[in-house]
Amino acid sequence: MAPYLMRVARRGTTINNSALSHSARFIPGALPRGTPSTRADVSGLAPAPPLTATTPLSSAAARCAGRCFSSITSTGKRVGVIPVAATAAVVMGQLSNQSQSQQQQQVRNMASSSTPSSSGRRLNMNNINPHVKAAKYAVRGELAVKSEEYRAYLQGGMTDLPFSEVISANIGNPQQLDQKPITFFRQVLSLLENPVLLEKEDVLIEHLGYKKDVIERAKKLLKVVGSVGAYSASNGVPAIRQSIADFLERRDGFPASQSDIYLSAGASSGVNTLLHVVCQDSNTGILVPIPQYPLYTASLAVLDAHCVEYHLDESKNWGTDLEIIKSSYEAAKAKGIDVRAIVIINPGNPTGASLSESDIRSVIEFARQERLVILADEVYQTNVFIGEFVSFKKVLRTLQKERPNDGFDQVELASLHSVSKGMVGECGHRGGYFELVNFDPDVQQEIYKFVSIMLCAPVIGQCLVDLMVNPPRPGEESYELYKKEYNAIYDGLKERATALHKAFEQMEGVECGSPQGSMYLFPTINLPEKAAEAAKKEGRTPDEFYCLRLLEATGVCVVPGSGFGQREGSLHFRTTFLAPGTEWVGSIVKFHREFMEKYR
Ligand SMILES: Cc1ncc(COP(=O)(O)O)c(C=O)c1O
């Protein structure tokens, strides 16, 4: 089918024809006969040997050697098997040494041939969309699956593991760990969910400690939302978009328009929307920082577009180096890739690094010269310990003002924010938004259409966005408590980051820059040669091997650096610093010492 191309005058953005037509561009084929049907096959890993219904996990774990995909109930019984193929995609994702373009080619080859299915079901691993199979998402990969099994096993009362608790340091999920929801937010949400409570204001105030401003805020939101159980406008409740625009204006000192704001189900759905529209076909390339949050590589894999990697500079505490970006860009261009956007994660995940204003200026200048759309992922904008957060919008508008005739008004910027991170930490509520700056109105119409296909972002999440951008102000009744809770969360995160960093500093072969922001540390680990050999025997990368042994020994779940991308020859892991207490940090230190001794 010939692609329908819609060239947008002046800005040079060509948008995805499938997003325009509502039809899927890609028709999946099937694997050629003899092609390994699961990533486990490719990697040479066999499925876990069958366990008996009562096999305890400790012995199972030894037998499975980290490849245990069984489901274990709260009573510690194995009840089924998570299909190897499903988890194996993740396994292989972490193991593969192929470049992304080699993998993409392999997937295209798989897609272009077809083999009839021999199974009774219409769908099997050989005929579903191969781009979905190609996507990797280590943050919720094999180690996370295994850690959940351990958790269920412990909850079932079993005591034969070397740890009594699982610490999920693999994902920035604040309330799964210790972070308490901010009272003001939850009180307002409770009234939105159950407006009948507003008929008993005296009970709310006298018995439940609700303040009057909570009640007022709930009433105000209900007035504009109607019911949180109803769909809203596709791009979000207009009054909430106005609230966000006001916040952006206060934050950046430049006007913002509610018509350029799109509420989303977390930032992830915003990224999904934007990438769908930006990616025209499989020749599209998007510059993505490495290491990165794997949402970007995974989404580009699903869209069958090129991820053009640019490395962050670890020697400069993971700084963004324009020369490196330029050389990646030129190399991709030389291969004929249509590079049309650059992703910046600021502050970074997994690195925590914030871009300085001058770095942001350089990136915008480069985007102007090369006509690149900027996708600024700013979900960690309040998680900053070193330096300060400066938004791309503010710098872009400043450049437009300083140099009005230099074409900055043609630089397209989409910036994203979310209720998931920061001191809000309400990732389960799936609230977020993106703002479009300097986009062609026709393209914006298509973006509107795209979001409308999913109807709207969760309305309760939209309300939470409103509360995040418009929290209690000084003088309002809820302000003191809000500020106290907010500061306690911020200080707690900083303290934990510092304590963890201090522990890393004591560990042999571990190097880690000072905590800068976001929710993670991303230390380098220099492992002995023998550990690398042992990893190879298991068909694993050394960082994956290390993280797996750490989980098995301590119950602490972290993510191998290979899940985020790392320079060849370097090894890392990512851990959040959200978990409370110091015991788990001590257990990492002890494990590391023993690991180094064992493989020295
Ligand atoms: C950099 C970055 N962007 C986006 C997201 C997705 O956040 P949300 O929960 O808002 O979808 C995350 C989640 O960890 C993230 O780290």
Which residues, 6 or more positions from 540, have their beta carbon under 8 angstroms from its beta carbon? Answer: 66, 94, 95, 548
For residue 5, what pLDDT band results from cuts at 50, 70 and 90? Answer: very low
Name residues contacting ligand 1 (CB within 6 A).
172, 266-268, 293, 295, 345, 349, 377, 379, 418, 420, 427, 432
Going through 265-337 in order, the beta strands assigned E by DSSP cover 284-290, 306-311
For residue 104, what pLDDT band results from cuts at 50, 70 and 90? Answer: low
Is residue 383 within 8 A of residue 519, CB to CB? The reply is: yes
Please report the pLDDT score of residue 330 as a whole number.
97
Q: Which residue has the higher pLDDT, 331 or 97?
A: 331
183: pLDDT strictly greater than 90 = yes
Please report the pLDDT score of residue 224 as a whole number.
96
Is residue 380 within 8 A of residue 349, CB to CB? The reply is: yes
Output the DSSP codes for 233-252. -TT--HHHHHHHHHHHHHHH
- Both tokens of 96, joined, read 């593969």
pLDDT tens-place string over residues 132-169: 998 888 767 889 999 999 999 999 998 899 999 999 99
For residue 335, what pLDDT band results from cuts at 50, 70 and 90? Answer: very high
Please report the pLDDT score of residue 314 as a whole number.
86
- Could you tell me the pTM of the whole model? 0.80
78: pLDDT strictly greater than 60 = no
Which residues, 6 or more positions from 360, have their beta carbon under 8 angstroms from its beta carbon? Answer: 346, 390, 392, 395
Percentage of residues of the chain with pLDDT beyond 90: 69
Mutate which of 293, 378, 417 to test ligand 1's pocket (most atoms within 8 Å of Cβ)?
293
Is residue 47 within 8 A of residue 40, CB to CB? The reply is: yes
Atom of ligand 1 nearest to the CA of 348: 1
Please report the pLDDT score of residue 136 as a whole number.
82
Most trustworthy range by pLDDT among 16-30, 32-46, 174-188, 248-262: 248-262
Of residues 182, 102, 92, the one with CA closest to residue 137: 92
Mutate which of 263, 272, 273, 379 to test ligand 1's pocket (most atoms within 8 Å of Cβ)?
379
Say what the ipTM of the complex is. 0.99
For residue 118, what pLDDT band results from cuts at 50, 70 and 90? Answer: low
Going through 381-539 in order, the beta strands assigned E by DSSP cover 413-418, 432-437, 510-511, 520-521, 524-525
376: pLDDT strictly greater than 70 = yes
Atom of ligand 1 nearest to the CA of 270: 11
Please report the pLDDT score of residue 22 as a whole number.
36
Query: Measured in angstroms, how far is the CA atom of residue 418 from the centroid of ligand 1?
Result: 7
Query: Measured in angstroms, how far is the CA atom of residue 344 from the centroid of ligand 1?
Result: 13
Write b or e for each residue in 490-505: b if 16 or more Cβ atoms lie within 10 A of its Cβ, otherwise e: bebbeebbeebbebbe
Query: Measured in angstroms, how far is the CA atom of residue 519 from the centroid of ligand 1?
Result: 11
Of residues 92, 106, 108, the one with CA closest to residue 563: 92
- φ, ψ at 589 (rounded to 5°): -60, -45
Atom of ligand 1 nearest to the CA of 171: 14
Q: How far, in Å, CA of 372 to CA of 400, rounded?
A: 16
Average pLDDT over residues 444-455: 96
Which residues, 6 or more positions from 598, have their beta carbon under 8 angstroms from its beta carbon? Answer: none
Atom of ligand 1 nearest to the CA of 139: 14
Please report the pLDDT score of residue 105 as a whole number.
54
59: pLDDT strictly greater than 80 = no
Token pair 């995909």 in the structure block, residue: 69
Average pLDDT over residues 69-87: 35
- Strands 373-377, 413-418: pairing is parallel
- C-alpha separations of 442 from 25, 184, 354 in Å: 21, 39, 33
Of residues 566, 567, 17, the one with CA closest to residue 283: 17
Mutate which of 344, 349, 419, 522 to test ligand 1's pocket (most atoms within 8 Å of Cβ)?
349
Q: How far, in Å, CA of 81 to CA of 48, rounded?
A: 9
Query: Measured in angstroms, how far is the CA atom of residue 272 from the centroid of ligand 1?
Result: 11
Please report the pLDDT score of residue 173 as a whole number.
85
Find the range with the poorest average confidence among 101-110, 276-285, 571-580, 582-591.
Answer: 101-110
Average pLDDT over residues 503-531: 93
13: pLDDT strictly greater than 60 = no
For residue 179, what pLDDT band results from cuts at 50, 70 and 90? Answer: confident
Q: How far, in Å, CA of 592 to CA of 504, rounded?
A: 10
Query: Measured in angstroms, how far is the CA atom of residue 268 from the centroid of ligand 1?
Result: 6
73: pLDDT strictly greater than 50 = no
Tell me whether residue 157 is exposed, middle or buried, using C-beta atoms within 10 angstroms of its C-beta: 0 to 12, 13 to 18, 19 or more: exposed
